[in-house]
Structure formats: structure tokens, C-alpha cells
Structure 1
Amino acid sequence: MQTRVVLNDELTIGDFADRAGVATSAIRHYEQQGLLTSTRTTGNQRRFARSVLRRIAVIQAAQHVGLSLAEIKDAFAQFPAEHAPTKRDWARLAREWRPRLDRRIAELEQVRNGLAMCVGCGCLSMRQCAIYNPDDALAEGGSGARRIFPQH
């Protein structure tokens, strides 16, 4: 692997992507979404401070547990754009995200437990099925097609 020139302790987008373990297109997308910031050279090339690598680590960890980029962006809104989350920041974010993750775990457990009931059943009744329509909750929304799982 060829090492690129690093100026003023900043990384080119290629070096930054290599260090972060993500594609350059992902870096550009995260920046476009307001999750990362960069500076520009006189030639309009992106440069990323090494500290921004911590933001990538938080983004990756949060996405790994199922959080959306919008949820991550909301969490990052409490920090300055150039702020690299600290251990204390991460602990606070984890506490804030815990209820959302607990709800998701409960939903997944419901699906897992319901699957055992469906083996051989084949009913898929929208009134009785514990997976697709627990307690006939979809009836509250009126007749017609409904979402199988609620949006978060």
C-alpha cells in the first residue's frame, strides 16, 4: 500500500477512508449528511483531521446496532462539528440510545418467538398471527393494507 503525503496532520480522503476502514463514497456521504467535516486545500481537495476518525468509529458502532444515520446525526448535534467524541460522550450516547435499542430487541424477540409458533401453522392470518399482527393491532388503523412492522 502506498502512503500518501499528510499535510498539517490532516489526512486525504483516501488515507482517511483506509484508516477508517470504509469506502471514500461513504466518507463523502457522511460529510454530505453533516456527520463529518473536512477542510479544503487551495486545490479543493478534502482534508480530514485525525480526530474525525473517532466520529467514524461512533457512526460504525451505532449503525452496527441498527441506528439510522438520522439518529446518529441527532446525537452528534449536541457536539461541535469538529468535536471527536470522548469516552464520556460515548457513555452518554449509549445511555440515550439504550431505550431505542431495548425496543428493537423486544421486537426481534417477538419475531423470533413467533416464528416457533408458525412452523407448520401456515395461517398468516392478519387477525391471529402473532408476528404480523399481534393483538390485531392493525385493525385500529382501519381496513386495507397496513405495515407489518412499525417504523422507528
Structure 2
Amino acid sequence: MTRLEHRVHELTVGQLAERSGVAVSALHFYEAKGLISSRRTAGNQRRFSRDTLRRVSFIKVAQRVGIPLSEIREALATLPEERTPTAEDWARLSEAWRGDLDARIAQLERLRDDLTECIGCGCLSIRNCALANPYDRLGDEGPGPRRLLVQNGPAARPGRTSEPDAGTRDLEDPCAPSCVPAD
């Protein structure tokens, strides 16, 4: 990899791609979506300021944890254009996403813990499905694996409370492992 000299203040798209590990086509896409910007030379070649390298790194990390490009663009728009973003700038941006990331982590933990018993009807076992989800009650909530699509547990579903009474417990989590008999 070519090292960038400290005195280099602008990068070609190829230099930015090589140093960031991002394909040239992805950099063009980021620019088209307003995530990064360049200036054009007299020969119509792109030139990126050196701080774009940090922005591209931020984009890559944010995408890796599942932040949508629209939110990344909004966050980058709050950064100063005239200077390289500081550690404090990055800390402020990442703190804004903390709650969303915590919710995603909780959802992934539920997925991990429940996956062996049920994927939330689309069920792994047609025989058990009739017992765990009679009359396809979860289907009334919409398509797909309903239990796994819920972000904050049963209370987040419309019409549900966090403390079900005994008469509705089977409706609350019909695919819960406790109500699925062993094959």
C-alpha cells in the first residue's frame, strides 16, 4: 500500500480507495448519496480532502453495525467541513446511536436464545406449530417470523401489555419454548 505523505492535502479517488480499503465504485456511490464530497480539477478529476479518509472510515464502521446510510448522512452533515473531525465529534455522533444499537443487541440476543426452539412461525416444525401457534394467531400480526421481528419484546406489539394475564398468556408468546412439546 502506498503511504500518504503528510504534506498531501488532497487525494485522488484511487488513493482514497487504496488507503480506505473501499472500492472506487463505492466512493462514487457515497459521493452521489451526499456522504462525502470532492472538488473537480481543470481536467475534471475528483480530488478529496484528506479528512475524507476519516469520513469513509466512519461510514464503514457505521454500516458494519447496521446504521442506515440515511442516518450516516445526517450525522456527517453535522460535522464541520473546514477541519478534520475530532475524537469528540465522533463520540457525539456515536452516542446518538447508542440506544438504537442497544435495542439491536437485545433483539439479537433474543434471536440467539430463541432460535433453536422456534423461528417465530415460519416454524421449524409443522407438527409443533399447530400446538404452539394454533390457528396461526401470529399471522394476524403480519407476514414473516413475528417473534423475531419484534424489537422490544411482547409489549412492543400493538395491543399487547408487558404483564399478560393468565387468560392471554398463550396469545402473548405462542411459540415460547415452554409450550412447545418435545418431538
User: For this structure pair, what is the TM-score category when the shorter chain's length is used for normalisation?
Assistant: 0.7 to 0.9
Across the two proteins, how many residue pairs are aligned to each other?
140
Deviation at 1:108, TM superposition (A): 0.9
Question: Which amino acid counterpart does residue 58 of structure 1 have in structure 2?
Answer: F
Give the structure 1 partner of residue 14 of structure 2.
14
SS in 2 for 1:22: coil
| Secondary structure, aligned partner of 1:37 | coil
Q: 1:41–1:47: 8 Å Cα contact kept in structure 2? A: yes
**Partner-residue secondary structure (3-state), 2:48:** strand
1:78 deviates by: 1.5
Q: Residue 31 of structure 2 corresponds to which residue in structure 1? A: 31
Instruction: For residue 140 of structure 1, report the CA deviation from its aligned partner.
Output: 4.7
Maintained 8 Å contact 1:34/1:73: yes
Task: Give yes or no for contact 2:79–2:89 (8 Å, CA) kept in 1.
Answer: no
Q: Which runs of 5+ in 1 are unaligned?
A: none
The answer to whether the aligner puts 1:122 opposite 2:125 as a matched pair is yes
Q: Distance in 1 between matches of 2:14 and 2:59?
A: 18
- Partners of 1:127 and 1:85 lie apart in 2 by 56
Paired residue secondary structure (1:116): coil
Give the corresponding residue for 2:161: none
RMSD: 3.3
Per-residue Cα deviation, 1:100-138 (whole angstroms, up to 9, x for no partner): 11111111111111113239x624849946xxx9x94x6
- What residue number does 2:159 align with? none
Distance 1:54 1:122, change over 3 A: same
The 1:98/1:3 distance shift into structure 2, 3 A limit, reads closer
Give TM-score scaled by structure 1 length.
0.76
Give yes or no for the alignment of 1:103 onto 2:103: yes
Q: CA deviation at 1:33?
A: 0.6
One-letter amino acid of the counterpart of residue 98, structure 1: R
Instruction: Look up the match of 1:76.
Output: 76
In structure 2, the gaps of 5 or more residues are 152-183
